[in-house]
Structure 1
C-alpha cells in the first residue's frame, strides 16, 4: 500500500494516527492513518484526487454517528466532513452542506417558519449521512423533502442528482449503490406556523428523550425495521434487553439501541449484534438486518 506523504497535505487540516474513537458516537474505533478535515468542496475534491494519485485507500464519513469503526481502525486516509457545514436559506428552500447536523438544520427551518423537517429534530446525524441512508423518524424521511443533492464520485467529479436520480428506498439511496459522496442537499419545504412547527418538534424531542438511552454513547437505531414488524419489539420479546458483551449492552430503555456502558469496543458491538440476530431468529423466525454501518480493517 502506497501513501500520501505529509508534505502533500501541508495545506490541509489533518491528523496522523488519529484515534477514531474520539469522533464516533459509539466512542469506539481504532486509528486512522490520516484523518483530514476539509472546509470546502474544493478541498474535498483535492483530497480525493491526491488519494487516487498516490493510491492511498480512502474513506469518507459525515459526522460518524450511525456507524461502528472496527478496533483495528482504517488504513489510508479518512475524510471527516464535519467542517463542511454551511446552510443557506432562499425562499422555501434550505441548502445544507454534508457536515451540517440534521438537528441544526431542522432548527434553522423553524427559524424561517419552514415546515417539513420537524421529524429530523432529534436525529443525531449529518446531512450527508441522512441523505446517504434516507434517514427518517415519526413518519417522515429525507426523501419526502429532498429536492436535489450535490455529490462527488471517487475520481473527484462533481454532479447534481435530482430526487428521482436518488432512487430512495427504505434506508437506501443511489449514493450507497453508486459509491458517491454527498457534498450538500437542497430541501424544498413549506411555509408554516412557527408555533405549530415548534410544538411538533417539542413533541418529537420529548418522545425521543423519554424512550431513547441518550445518556450513553450509541450508534442510534442498530437494525432496520423488518417488514411487518418492529425491530425493538422483536428484540424485547426475544429476551435480549440488558444482555451485555464486554462493555456494550442492549439498552433496557429501548431494545433497538446498543449502548456503550463500560469502555466497550467495536468487537463488543459486533459480537452483540450477531448474538441479537441469532436470538431474534430463534424466537420469531425473523432475520434482522443491521442499519448501522460497520467499517474498518
Structure 2
C-alpha cells in the first residue's frame, strides 16, 4: 500500500479560510513534525518557503494548510512523561521542542524592564592541568544598562565586572525584545546577526548555538522563547531519548545533537542541563542551569576603569591587586 504524501493529506482536508503569517508558519512546523516528513527533518526553517511555493504552483491553495492546522489541533501531541504516562518514545524531538515552546510561552514576562538578568549554573570542565574534572558555580547578573557582574567560584570568587550585555550572536538587551517571534523570520534574523555578509551560509549547528544561548543566558520574552523552540524543532540531527534526571535530580527528557546531550523540561520550557564533548578521550563538559530570572540589584564590584584583578576589598597599584591591610 502506498503511503499518502503530504499533498494527499492536505488535499483530503480541504480549505478552511485564509491564514495569517504566524499561523501558517506554526501550522506547517507542527504538521511537519507530526508527520515526521524526511524532507523537513534535514531542512532549516528558511527552506520551508520553497516547498510551499512548489505546492502552490501545483494549485494547492495555501488555505489548505490552515485546514491541516485545524486537523492537527484535533490530534493531540503525545504526552511527554517525566515519571509516568505515555512513553516518551511515542513522540519526536520536534514535538518535544514544540511542547517546550508552548510551556515557555505561558510563563510571565517580567524581564523587559528589569535592571539585571540573574542566572546560576554549575559547570564541570575537564582540566588538562589537574587531569581531572573541575567544578565551578557561576552566578551572573547581566546588566540592562549597567555593567554585568559575575562570581565564579573557581576563577573569580569575588564580584567582578564584565562588559555590558550581549546575548547569543551579539544581540543587546533592547534588540532582543525587537526580534521577530515568527519562527522563519526569527531564524533569518539570527543568521544576519551571526554573519551579516552571508547569513545563508550559516550552518544548522551554528543556528542551534544561537538558539541555545538565548534560551539559557538571556531575558528573552515568553513569546520569543516559544519561537526559539519552534526554530529548534526544524533543525536537523536532533534525536529524542527518554525520561531522565539531571545531575541535581530534576526530571526531564533527553535530547541528543551532534557532540552534545540536553535535558529539557517540557512542562516549563526550560533547558536544565547540557553535556558537550570535544574529545573522545575526556569526560564531557557539563553545564547545569539552576536559576534564571530578573533581578533589581547586583553585588557591588570595582569600577570598570580599574585594572583587571582589582576587587572590592583591595586597592590597586600599577595593575596589581594589593591587600590594604598590608600597607602601601
Tell me the TM-score range normalised by the shorter chain. Answer: under 0.3
Q: Which has the higher helix share?
A: 2
Larger Rg: 2
With normalisation by structure 2, the TM-score equals 0.22
The higher relative CO (CA closer than 8 Å, separation ≥ 6) is in: 2
